[in-house]
Structure 1
Amino acid sequence: MQENGTIEQAKTVLKHYFGYAQFRPLQEEIIEKLLQQQDVLVLMPTGGGKSICYQVPALVFPGLTIVISPLIALMKDQVTALQANGIGAAYLNSTIGMDEEQWIKHECVQGRIKLLYVSPERLQTELRSFLPTLPVSLIAIDEAHCISQWGHDFRPEYTQLASLKTHFPKTPIVALTATADKTTRKDILAQLALPQANVFVASFDRPNLSLQVRSNVQKKDKMEEIRAFILARPKDSGIIYCMSRKTCEEVAADLNQTLGRQGISVGYYHAGMAPDARDTAQQDFINDRLQVMCATIAFGMGIDKSNVRWVIHYNLPRNMEGYYQEIGRAGRDGVSSDTILYFNMGDLNMLTRFAQESGQQEMNMEKLNRMRQYAEANTCRRKVLLSYFGETLEQQCNNCDVCANPRSFFDGTVLTQKALSALLRLNERVGSQMLIDVLRGSHRADILQAGYDKIKTYGAGADISNRDWQQYILQLLDQGIIEIAYDENFTLKVTDFGKTILAEKRPVQLTRPVDFTPSAKPAAKEKQGREKKLKSEMTADEQLFEQLRKLRYGIAKEENMPAYVIFNDNTLKEMAAQMPVNMSALKRIPGVGDAKAARYGERFTHAIQDFMYKYNKKDTYSETWDLYERGLNVAEIAEQRGLTQSTIIQHLQHWAEKGKEVSFRDLVAPDLLLRMRPVYAQLGLTDKLKPYYEHFRGAVSYDEIRLALLALQEA
C-alpha cells in the first residue's frame, strides 16, 4: 500500500498552489478519507469546490491521479487552470496528435504529470496497456451521475467504469457530481462497485443566486424583457438556455441586431453546429470576446468560467437536476448573480410529449412534474429547489421572486365556473389558448367559423388579460379541476372533481398573478446609474477593481487564456480592498498561490502602488494602524473600516511582525486572559483554534481566542 499523506500536507498544498489558507466546508473531511485510502462519493453544488477535493490529494500522493471527465472542453479548461497554478497536468482525447500523445505519456512515466484527464471512451483503450504500468495513486470520476440511468444525463460509456476497481483494487476512487437525487446516488455506488464508499453531501444552497420565474410572457414581451435585462448589465457575461437549436439561433440573431450597436456581442451554441464553429463559440465566450451565449443544454457542462453573472432559461427545463446544474453556471466565484426562468403552457406540452415518447416515460414525467411544481410555486422557491435534493431550508431565502412578492389568495369560484362552463360548451375539444380566446371574446376567423362566438360564455372573461387567464388555467390544472388529454392533441377536459365543483358551486381559492414590471427594469435603472457614475464618485475599491480588471484582461489577451484563470473576480475584489503593495502582502490574498504570485505578482502590486500614488491612498494595513494609534479597539476598527475583526487582527499581526509595538494584552478583556491561561498551559500554541472554542462551549468567539493567544505570547 502506498504511503499516506497528511492533512497538514494537504493544507500546505492548498496554500502553495491555490492560494487559500482554509478549506471550504466538507473539503477537509473528504480529502482526509482519500488520504486514508478510502473511496468517496461527493455531492457538491457547482461552484462548491469539487475539484479541490481530488486536485489537492493528487499533489500530496506520490503517484499519478487519473481524472475521468465527459467533455473535452472541461478537460481543457481544468488543465489550463492547473498549469497556471504551476501544476503538471495534461489530457488524452481526440483533439491531440500522435506526437503530443507520446510526449504526454513520456511525462507521465517520468512523474512530471500529476493529473491526467481522460474521457471515458479513451479510458478503455488506455487500460489495456498504458495506465496499468503507472503508479496510480487516485482515480477521480467527474460528473458521476452520467453512470446512472436514473440520472438526468445518462451516458452509456460511463457504465464501463465499474472495471476500474478490478484494474486498481487498492487505489481510492472519488466520484463527484453536482446533481443527484437519492435514487441516483445509490445507483452510482452500485454501478461503480463502491459499496463501502463514504458519502458526503454538501449543502445545495447557493445563496448568491437570485431565483425568479416569469410565467406566460408572450414572445415579444419576453424578448423585450431580456434586452432590458442585458442592457442593464453591459459588462456582465450571461447564458440564455433554449429548448431547441432553432430557438438558440433566433434569439441570438434578435439580440445581435438590437444590442450589437450597444457593443454587446451575442453568440449561439448547439450540438448541430460544426465542431470547429462550436469550439470557436465556446472559446470566444470563455475568453470574454462574447458576452452572451444562447445555447441548448449541450453548452456549459465543460466550462469553469467563474464570472458568469446571470443565467436565463428561455424555456422550461426538463427536470430539476438539469435546471440546478444550468443555473449553477452563474456566480461560481461567490459573487451575487441572477437567474430567470420563463415558463408557459406551450413548453409544458412539448416537454410532456418528449417525456411520453422517451424510454423512461414514468420517471421523466415525474421529473417534469417536479420541475413544473417549482415553476408554479407559491412559497419560497429556494425551499422547493432544496427539498428536491433532500435538504430543508427553515427560513425564507429572501432572494427569490416569491419572497419579494408574497402570493395573495382570492375567491376564484365565479372565474372557475366561467372557465369550466365554456370548456364543456366547447365539447372539451380545445386547448388552453383557444379556451382563453373564447372567454376573452376574440374575433379571430377560426373562432367565428367554428361558431364558438355563439356559446353562452363567449366573452364572459373579457375583463381578464390573456396572461392572467394562462396563470388561472395552470392553477385549475394543479388543483385537479381540469386535466390535459395528452393523447388527444393536448385538449383540456373537466375532471369529475371539476364537474362536482360546477354542479355544487363549491368555492375555489386561486392566487392573484403577481403584477411584475418587466423583470430587469428596476435593476436596470440602478445598474445604469452605477455605470454612468463619475469616476470621482466611485470608491477607491471600485476604481482600483476596474483598473485591476483591465490589467487582467490585457494579460489574458497576451497569454491567450481566460481572464478568470489568472485571478477570479473575488480575488481582484480582495486586492482592491486590501491594496497589497508587496509580494508578501499579495500572497495573503485568497486565490493567490505561489506560482501565480511569481508569474503575475509584480504587475499587480505595481498597478496597486501606482493607483495609491496617483490617488494618494494609504494601504489597508496603514489605515488600520492609524486607527489603532488613535486608541480604537479591534471591534471599533473593524466597524469603522467595514472589515471583519479577523482581518483587523491579521493587520495588527502584520505590524507586530514588522517591529511595531502592538499591545495585544490591552485589546483583550482581563477576565478572558485569566480563563485562557490554564487552557493555554494545557493545549499550548496551535494553528487550530477549535479545541479552545470547544473548551469554552462556543461562549468565546474565534477572534477573541486568537487575540488572547497573541496576548499570552507577549507575557
Structure 2
Amino acid sequence: MTRTRDSATSEAMALAHPDTLDDSPAFPGRCPETALHDVFGFAEFRPGQRDVIDSILAGRDTLAVMPTGAGKSLCFQLPAVMDGGLTVVVSPLIALMEDQVRSLRLQGVCAAAMHSGNAPGTNGDIWRQARSGELRLLYIAPERLALDGILDDLSDIGVTRLVVDEAHCISQWGHAFRPDYLTLARVRERLGVPTAAFTATADAATRRDIVDRLCGGDAREFVFGFDRPNLDLRIAEKRSPVKQLLAFLEDRKGESGIVYCLSRRAVEETAAALCRQGIPAVPYHAGLDPEVRSANQDRFVTEDGLVVCATIAFGMGIDKPDVRFVFHTDVPGSVEAYYQEIGRAGRDGLPATVQMLYGLADIAQRRRFVDESGASEDQRRIEHRRLNTLLGICETAGCRRQALLAALGEPLAQPCGNCDTCREPPETLDGLVPAQKVLSAILRTGQRFGAGHIVDVLVGGKTEAVQRHGHDSLPTFGVGTEFDRNGWRSVIRQLVACGIVAIDTAGFGGLTVGETGRAVLKGEAGVTLRRDTAKRTKTSRSSGQAAATVSPENADLLRALKEERRDIARELSLPAYTVLHDRSLIELAERRPSSLEDFAGIHGVGQAKLEKFGERFLAVIRSAA
C-alpha cells in the first residue's frame, strides 16, 4: 500500500483532532521521569538524555552532539510535553518532520509539520491549534521559518523555545552545509527564546561555528560518544558489486535495508537486479518523478522487508528503527558522511550490519568530485582530508571501530570484536619493496597511466598498450612476481589511500608519485601493507551476531503480533513502527503480558498507545496461549 504525501499529512492531522485524540499531556512541576514513562513508555533515560533535558528545561542555550540512535529527538520532545508551551523545531526534510509528527500523535502529543507538501487547509488548522494552545511541537523547514509572515505569527502566539535539528547544516565546516540555515540566527533573535541545537556529527571547528552563528557564542555543550556497538562494521574490495550484494542478502531475506549507490543509473540497475532475484526493492534518487519517489519512500517506511536502493538523497529524513543493514556499493565522500549513512541501521538497538565495497575507481571519482566542486581551496583541502580519513579506515589492518571512532575524536581502548578485521585479522607485510616497484613503474611510464596498465607492467603482461608504448622493455617489466593482478591492485589502492601514490584527477586519472612517494622510493620511509585474501570478501552474517528476533518457542507469536501491528498500521495509514517498534513486539512475545497493567511495562508503550492498542495485542497473546 502506498500513500501520497498530501494524504499522509491529512491522515496524521486527523489523528490529532479533538474527537480522536486526548489533549496533549503536560506535566508542569513534575519530574521528567513521569513524562518519560507515561507519554513515551520508557522506564529510564538513555545515557546523557537527562543532562540535556535539564539544560533545556532550565532555559539554557544548548548544543548536543549525540550519535544516531541515541534518542536526541526525545531530548527536545519531552521538555515540550512537560512545560506545555510551543516548541518550534527546524528540520531540513519533510519526511523527517512527518515521521516524528506521526509518532508523537500516536503517543498523545499534539504536534504538526508546516511545509509545502501539506494538503489545502492543513496549515490553517495548524495555526488554529497553535493559537488555542493545543500545539506542543511545530516542525518547519528553515526557508519557510525565515518568512516574515511566519515569524510575525509565531511572535504573536508566543514560542517557548527554538530547536534546530541537523545543526551541522549551519556550519561552513560541516559536511552538509545548507545556506538556508544561515537565516536561523535572525529567527532566534526575532523570537527571543532559548535555542537547542542537535546533530549526530560535529568536530570541534563545526561545534564552535554552530554556537557562534546560532547562540551568539555562548551555549552549554554536550558531546556524547559516537560508538554504535550493535553495528557490525565490514569493508571489502569491490569486485562485482551486484554479485557481492546478492551474496550479502542470501541470509537476510525479509529484512529492511538501504543500499547506497553513487549514481542514479547504478541505483536503477541495482534495484532491478534485486527484483529479478525475488528481493523486493525500489529505487530512490532525485531524478525520479516526485510522486514515484514519494511513493517509494512511503513503501520503505510502511512495509517490512523492503530494500531501497538510493543515492545519498535518501535517508536523512528517515527514522525507521528496524533497518537491519546498510550496504554501500561505493565509497561515501567522507568519514562523517559514512557515519551518518551507516547510522540509519539498527536505531532500535538490535543487531545490524553495515557493509561497504570500495575500489581504486571510487577513490579517483571522489577526488574528482572534490576538485571540480567549485569550493574554495581551503574547503577542498578539508574535503580531501576527510576522504583520506575514510580511506584510512578502509585500509586499516586493525579494528574498524577503533579507526572510525578515532577519526571522530573518540579513542576506543580495546578492539571491538564486532567488525570484519577483529573476526578475521588480516596479514600484514613489509611493503617497502612492493611500494618501490609500483613507484618505479609509475615514474618510468611517465606518470600518466592508470592502475591497470601499471599492473600489466609489473606482472609482465604483454598487452597491446604495453608493447605499443615500449613498456615491455622497461627494467620494471615483469618484476612483480610476488603478487598476482588482484594483489597488485590491492597494493596500489593502499598506496593511494596513504598518499604514497596520487591520482591525477585533473587529467585522465593517471597514477603519479604522491607527497610521501619520493621518501619511500629512496628508502627513507617505511611502508606496512595489508595482504588481502579471498576470505576477506565474506559477507554472510557472522556467527557472533544474532538476528533481531525471539527465542524459537515464541517465533510464531512474534509473527502474529507483527501481523496485528500491520493491520493497525494499515487502518491508520501509518508506518508499522510508529504503532510499536520491533523491540516492543519481541518483548511482548517473550514476556506474554496478560493484563493492561502488565502491558504498560513493555518498552515504548505509553498511556496513549496502551489505551489505543493494548487490548488488541493482548487478544493475540491470549489466542496463542
Structures share fold, TM-score greater than 0.5: yes
Unaligned runs of at least 5 residues, structure 1: 532-536, 613-715
Please state if 1:558 is matched with 2:562.
no
Question: Contact 2:449–2:511 (CA<8 Å) still a contact in 1?
Answer: yes
2:594 maps to which residue? Answer: 581
Residue type at the aligned position of 1:338? T
CA distance in 2, matches of 1:324, 1:512: 26
**How much has 1:558 moved relative to structure 2?**
2.5
Any idea what SS the aligned residue of 2:286 has?
Answer: coil
Are positions 1:306 and 2:321 aligned together?
yes
The percentage of counterpart residues that share the same residue type is 39
The two structures, once aligned, show a CA RMSD in angstroms of 2.6
**In 2: Cα distance, 1:239 partner to 1:469 partner:** 32
> What residue in structure 2 maps to residue 596 of structure 1?
609
Q: Is 2:63 aligned against 1:41?
A: yes
Worse-superposed segment, 313-322 or 506-515: 506-515
Match of 2:447 in 1: 428
> Partner of 1:516: helix, strand, or coil?
helix
**1:229 is matched by which residue type in structure 2?**
F
1:568 maps to: 581
Aligned partner letter, 1:242: C
Which of 295, 301, 319 lines up with 2:310 in the alignment?
A: 295
Provide, for residues 195-231 of structure 1, a one-character-per-residue CA deviation record: whole Å limited to 9, x for no partner: 321111121110000111112x22x3x2212102112
Deviation of the 1:417 alpha carbon: 4.3
Contact conserved, 1:5 with 1:61, CA < 8 A, in 2? yes
Matched, 1:131 2:150: no
Indicate if the aligned counterparts of 1:20 and 1:592 stay in contact, CA closer than 8 A.
yes
Query: Which sits farther off after the overlay, 297-306 or 481-490?
Result: 481-490
More helix by share: 1
Between the two structures, name the one with larger relative contact order (CA 8 Å, sep ≥ 6): 2
The 5-angstrom pairing of residues 465-544 of structure 1 reads 465-477=484-496, 481-494=500-513, 498=517, 509-516=528-535, 518-521=537-540, 523=542, 539-544=552-557
Question: Within 5 Å, which residues of 2 pair with 1:662-677?
Answer: none
Provide the secondary structure at the position in 1 that maps to 2:574. Answer: coil
> In the superposition, relative to structure 1, how do residues 204 and 223 fare at CA in structure 2: closer, same or farther (>3 Å)?
same
C-alpha displacement of 1:583: 0.2
Match of 2:107? Answer: 85
Contact 2:391 2:497 (8 Å CA) reproduced: no
How many residues are matched? 595
State whether structure 2 residue 562 is matched by structure 1 residue 549. Answer: yes
- Alignment partner of 1:573: what SS? helix
458-467 vs 373-382, greater mean Cα deviation: 458-467
Cα drift, residue 433 of structure 1: 1.9
Query: Partners in 2 of 1:376 and 1:437 — Cα distance?
Result: 23
Q: Does 1:336 align with 2:351?
A: yes
Q: Residue 166 of structure 1 is aligned with which of 171, 189, 192?
A: 189
Distance 1:334 1:284, change over 3 A: same
1:186 aligns with 2:208: yes
Q: Whole-Å Cα distance in 2 between the matches of residues 347 and 113 of structure 1?
A: 48
Give, in angstroms, the shift of residue 556 of structure 1.
1.8
The equivalent of 2:11 in structure 1 is none
1:65 aligns with 2:78: no
Q: CA 1:464–1:163 in structure 2 vs 1: closer, same or farther (change >3 Å)?
A: same
Structure 1 stretch displaced more, 181-190 or 518-527 = 518-527
Per the alignment, residue 609 of structure 1 pairs with 622
Contact 1:349/1:490, CA 8 A, preserved across alignment: yes
Equivalent of residue 144 in structure 1, options 150, 167, 191: 167
Contact 2:264/2:285 (8 A) holds in 1: yes
Q: Residue 60 of structure 2 aligns to which amino acid in structure 1?
A: Q
Give, in angstroms, the shift of residue 443 of structure 1. 4.7
1:50 maps to amino acid: K
Q: CA deviation at 1:140?
A: 1.0
Deviates more, 1:154-163 or 1:397-406: 397-406
The CA deviation at 1:541 is 3.0
C-alpha contact 2:432 2:523 (8 A) present in aligned 1: no
Determine if contact 2:325/2:353 at 8 Å carries over to the other structure.
Answer: yes
Q: Work out whether residues 143 and 180 of structure 2, in 8 Å CA contact, stay in contact via their aligned partners in 1.
A: yes
Summarize the Cα distance change of 1:6–1:514 in structure 2 as closer, same or farther, 3 Å threshold. Answer: farther
Deviations 1:245-298 (A, max 9, x none): 1221121122222x22xxx21111111222111111100111116611111111
Q: Distance in 2 between matches of 1:507 and 1:109?
A: 69
2:100 is aligned with what amino acid? Q
Alignment of 1:59-458 (within 5 A): 59-125=81-147, 126-169=149-192, 171-215=193-237, 217-218=238-239, 220=240, 222-257=241-276, 259-260=277-278, 264-288=279-303, 291-358=306-373, 359=375, 360-458=379-477
Q: Is the 8 A contact 2:351 2:545 kept in 1?
A: no
Aligned twin of 1:647? none
CA contact (8 A) 1:440 1:463 kept: no
SS in 1 for 2:146: helix
Alpha-carbon separation, structure 1, partners of 2:525 and 2:302: 60
- Tell me how far 1:540 sits from its aligned partner: 2.2
Q: Distance in 2 between matches of 1:202 and 1:340?
A: 25
Whether the aligned pair in 1 keeps the contact of 2:235 and 2:357 (CA below 8 Å) is yes
Verify the 8 A CA contact 2:424 2:536 in the aligned structure 1. no
C-alpha distance after superposition, 1:400-444 (max 9, x if no partner): 112122233224454344433433332332122210123234454
The alignment partner of 2:31 has SS state of: helix
Question: Which residue in the other structure is 2:13 paired with?
Answer: none
What's the CA shift for 1:36?
1.3
The structure-2 alpha-carbon separation of the partners of 1:19 and 1:474, relative to structure 1 and needing over 3 Å to count, comes to: same
- Rounded to whole Å, the distance in 1 between the matches of 2:450 and 2:334 is 24
CA distance in structure 1 between the aligned counterparts of 2:533 and 2:488, rounded to whole angstroms: 13
Q: Secondary structure at the match of 1:510?
A: strand
Structure 2: any 5+ residue segments left out of the alignment?
1-25
Does the 8 Å contact 1:7/1:31 carry over to 2?
no
Query: Could you tell me which residue of structure 2 aligns to residue 678 of structure 1?
Result: none
Q: Is the 8 A contact 1:231 1:524 kept in 2?
A: no
> Deviation per CA, 1:41-75, whole angstroms, max 9, x where unpaired?
11111111011001100011132111111101111
Rounded to whole Å, the distance in 2 between the matches of 1:494 and 1:234 is 46
Superimposed CA distance per residue, residues 534-591 of structure 1 (whole angstroms, 9 cap, x where no aligned partner): xxx9622333222212221222223221111111111111111211111000001111
Question: 2: CA distance between counterparts of 1:543 and 1:23?
Answer: 31
- Mark the CA change 1:24 to 1:497 in structure 2 (over 3 Å): closer, same or farther: closer
Query: Does the CA-based 8 Å contact 1:6-1:32 persist in structure 2?
Result: no
CA gap 1:538/1:457 in 2 versus in 1, 3 angstroms: same
| Residue 158 (structure 1) shift | 0.6
State which drifts further: 402-411 or 79-88: 402-411
| Aligned residue identity for 1:596 | K
Is the alpha carbon distance of 1:8 and 1:399 closer, same or farther for their aligned partners in structure 2, counting shifts above 3 Å? farther
